[in-house]
């Protein structure tokens, strides 16, 4: 078995048994990155020296008898996470040479346990996109078909797992940015409940929706990564101070007796036939495993995309006001006074999609439109949240597609922002409701493209969806297929 | 929904963005279609509905008002495009 094909739990076993060192594993991954990166483009920055130093330190820890599940495991993280002393761009020219003075809590937690950082992963600029085409550092390609998008905005995080350039990765999800690329690249991705993982040191896009989560090869690894990053952080006042369950301990509890909801608004006429077939087969698998299905309704689903694009754009226009060329980031060389310096620095530094969302958000917050757009969207958000509360009164979790189609072609939706926004139809409501959802491999199209399914959990119900995901994974072999690259 | 180039210029000024003539034309069309789409929300009855700003209900987070170490001047200024001593330097504000 190739080292780069291993899961966290497999590699951990080898490290603990001392049949393999972290330096050997890290070297194997760095070699793999060099070999496939020209075709994939998952990384913005590869941190080879930092990685090998961390691997050597991990090997010393292991030799001293300290072999935590993550000690010596080579990981990579989306370039949205601040890493002290390591360039962090968020996929934008405006942060081209930004070196953060501190690290994100989520990465710090992994690092403290001995994880090795291979590098910073490609993404849509400021996490705004569903295809990774808006990165200022060039697009990422789908390892299953390099003419297709990997999904976005954590496209590099998903592609790196699928192309075996990292054992596991971290991404962020504001409207589907972990789940949709996980689905398109055939890996497991978890969007935790809002407040479950600290957002400290994560470059802000839409603060009321952003969450940090893992992308992995299987559900076992996902539970392990989730357990490592979850928890209260005094530095993020929106993180929630409730105990973190042992997600690995309940993985094998099975689905017998679980009630799974099928929201009718997610099984619509426009759904790709192969996606529909994949969902039907997944339902059959769960029935066989002893789960019970209940039809439920989330009646405001059709308004979720509109609600999301108002709220996210409004929050983005406010969050991105900080990029003014004064304290960090790009500053325009020739400016006539302070205001002109702000304007030119921003206009030179931001790409087209970021400008478009700032414009929409500014419009929605501007005098005369604030109530009609922003406050209206916040009210519809309440109705969407209430839909979930009602549905969860009857079921333990819900099963839906992640995306209406498998990965689309690079360039296919690039000129039509509205069409691109609609590709997040099934993932956005979960962010608006603030709850958790898991995306996992459920099948393949006839042309060999991965198709994911989404398990939506109750707020702080990560253990239940991970357990249901694990049961499915044990009953199927989809997660074992590897992209031929 | 009709968004004119003048509307785009007004919003760009508020957002501190400078757009080319081509970008203004493009954004007028795209913002028009996006805002036209979000207008579907107008058909939703939200009378008496409380707006949600935050998915998880929580109270204000307080902490003890004690002095703690911070990152310090040098680290804070390390990314400054231009500095003057221990300050960020910017173009002249008042003529």
Residue A171: φ, ψ to 5°: -135, -175
Q: Is A417 within 8 Å of B34 when comparing Cβ atoms? A: yes
Annotated domain spans of chain B: 5-42
Q: Is A359 within 8 Å of B53 when comparing Cβ atoms? A: no
**Confidence band (pLDDT; 50, 70, 90) for A422?**
confident
Phi-psi region of A443 (alpha: psi -120 to 50; beta: other; left: phi over 0): left
Q: Write the DSSP string, A213-258.
A: EEEESSHHHHHHHHHHHBS--TT-TTS--SPPP-TTTTGGG--TT-
The pLDDT of residue A334: 85
pLDDT average, residue stretch A326-331: 97
**Confidence band (pLDDT; 50, 70, 90) for A70?**
very high
pLDDT at A62 over 90: yes
Domain range B5-42, its CATH number among 3.40.640.10, 3.40.50.300, 1.10.20.60, 3.40.50.11540 = 1.10.20.60
Interface check for B5 against chain A (CB to CB < 8 A): the answer is: no
The pLDDT of residue B93: 82
Q: Which of residues 56-75 of B touch A (CB under 8 A)?
A: 56, 58, 61, 63, 71, 75
Kindly report, residue by residue over B10-28, the tens digit of the pLDDT.
Answer: 999 999 999 999 999 999 9
pLDDT average, residue stretch A406-434: 91
Catalytic residue check, A153: yes
Partner residue opposite B44 with nearest CB, options A195, A380, A421: A380
Residue from A460, A409, A391 nearest A247 by CA? A460
Residue from A185, A155, A188, A148 nearest A172 by CA? A155
pTM: 0.97
Supply the mean pLDDT for chain B. Answer: 93
CA distance A243 to A232: 8
Orientation of helix B5-14 relative to helix B21-38, angle to 10° = 90
**Confidence band (pLDDT; 50, 70, 90) for A417?**
confident
The pLDDT of residue A301: 96
The pLDDT of residue A423: 83
Catalytic residue check, A367: no
pLDDT average, residue stretch A393-403: 97
The pLDDT of residue B92: 85
**Confidence band (pLDDT; 50, 70, 90) for A157?**
very high
pLDDT at A204 over 90: yes
Overall CATH class of domain A3-260+394-480: alpha beta
Q: Which of A135, A154, A177, A439 is catalytic?
A: A177
Supply the mean pLDDT for chain A. Answer: 97
The pLDDT of residue A39: 98
CA distance A422 to B73: 45
Q: Which of A22, A153, A154, A239 is catalytic?
A: A153
Burial letters A177-206, b for 16+ CB under 10 A, else e: bbbbbbbbbbbbbbbbbbbbbbbbbbbbbb
The pLDDT of residue B66: 93
Interface check for B78 against chain A (CB to CB < 8 A): the answer is: yes
Kindly report, residue by residue over A5-23, the tens digit of the pLDDT.
Answer: 999 999 999 999 999 999 9
**Confidence band (pLDDT; 50, 70, 90) for A145?**
very high
Kindly report, residue by residue over A19-47, the tens digit of the pLDDT.
Answer: 999 999 999 999 999 999 999 999 999 99
Catalytic residue check, A239: no
Annotated domain spans of chain A: 3-260+394-480, 302-380
């Amino acid at each position: 078995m190739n080292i780069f094909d291993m899961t966290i739990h497999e590699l951990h076993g080898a490290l603990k048994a001392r049949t393999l060192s972290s330096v050997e594993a890290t070297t194997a991954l760095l070699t793999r990155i060099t070999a496939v990166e020209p075709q994939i483009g998952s990384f913005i920055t590869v941190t080879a020296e930092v990685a090998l130093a961390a691997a050597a330190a991990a090997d010393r820890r292991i030799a001293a008898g300290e072999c935590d599940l993550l000690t010596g495991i080579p990981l990579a993280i989306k370039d949205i996470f601040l890493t002290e002393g390591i360039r962090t761009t968020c996929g934008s020219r405006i942060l081209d040479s930004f070196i953060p003075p501190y690290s994100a809590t989520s990465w710090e937690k992994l690092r403290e346990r001995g994880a090795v950082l291979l590098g910073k992963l490609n993404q849509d600029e400021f996490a705004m996109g569903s295809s990774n085409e808006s990165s200022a550092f060039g697009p990422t390609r789908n390892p299953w078909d390099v003419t297709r998008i990997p999904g976005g905005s954590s496209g590099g995080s998903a592609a790196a797992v699928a192309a075996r350039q990292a054992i596991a990765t971290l991404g962020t999800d504001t409207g589907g940015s972990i789940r949709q690329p996980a689905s398109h690249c055939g890996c497991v991705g978890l969007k935790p409940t809002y407040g479950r993982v600290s957002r400290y040191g994560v470059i802000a896009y839409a603060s009321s929706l952003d969450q940090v989560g893992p992308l992995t090869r299987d559900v076992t690894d996902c539970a392990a990564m989730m357990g490592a990053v979850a928890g209260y952080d005094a530095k993020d006042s929106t993180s929630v101070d409730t105990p973190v369950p042992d997600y690995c301990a309940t993985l094998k509890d099975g689905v017998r007796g679980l009630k799974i909801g099928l929201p009718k608004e997610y099984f619509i006429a426009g759904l790709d036939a192969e996606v529909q077939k994949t969902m039907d087969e997944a339902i059959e698998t769960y029935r066989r495993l002893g789960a019970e299905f209940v039809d439920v309704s989330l009646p405001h689903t059709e308004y979720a995309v509109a609600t999301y694009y108002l709220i996210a754009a409004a929050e983005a226009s406010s969050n991105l006001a900080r990029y003014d060329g004064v304290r960090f980031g790009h500053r325009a060389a020739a400016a006539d006074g302070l205001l002109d310096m702000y304007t030119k620095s921003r206009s030179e530094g931001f790409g087209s999609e970021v400008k478009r969302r700032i414009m929409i958000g500014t419009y929605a917050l501007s005098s005369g439109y604030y109530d009609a757009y922003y406050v209206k969207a916040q009210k519809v958000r309440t109705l969407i949240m209430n839909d979930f509360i009602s549905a969860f009164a009857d079921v333990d979790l819900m099963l839906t597609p992640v995306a209406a189609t498998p990965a689309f072609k690079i360039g296919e939706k690039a000129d039509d922002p509205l069409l691109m926004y609609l590709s997040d139809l099934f993932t956005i409501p979960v962010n608006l409701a603030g709850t958790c959802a898991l995306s996992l491999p459920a099948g393949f199209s006839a042309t060999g493209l991965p198709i994911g399914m989404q398990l939506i959990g109750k707020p702080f119900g990560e253990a239940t969806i991970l357990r249901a995901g694990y049961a499915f994974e044990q009953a199927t072999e989809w997660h074992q297929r590897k992209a031929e690259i | 929904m009709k968004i004119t180039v003048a509307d785009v210029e007004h919003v760009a000024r508020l957002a501190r963005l400078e757009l080319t003539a081509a970008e203004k034309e493009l954004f007028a069309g795209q913002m028009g279609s996006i805002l036209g789409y979000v207008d579907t929300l107008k058909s939703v009855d939200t009378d008496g509905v409380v707006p949600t700003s935050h998915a998880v209900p929580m109270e204000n987070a307080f902490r003890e008002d004690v002095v703690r170490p911070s990152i310090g001047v040098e680290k804070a200024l390390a990314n400054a495009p231009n500095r003057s001593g221990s300050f960020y330097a910017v173009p002249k504000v008042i003529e």
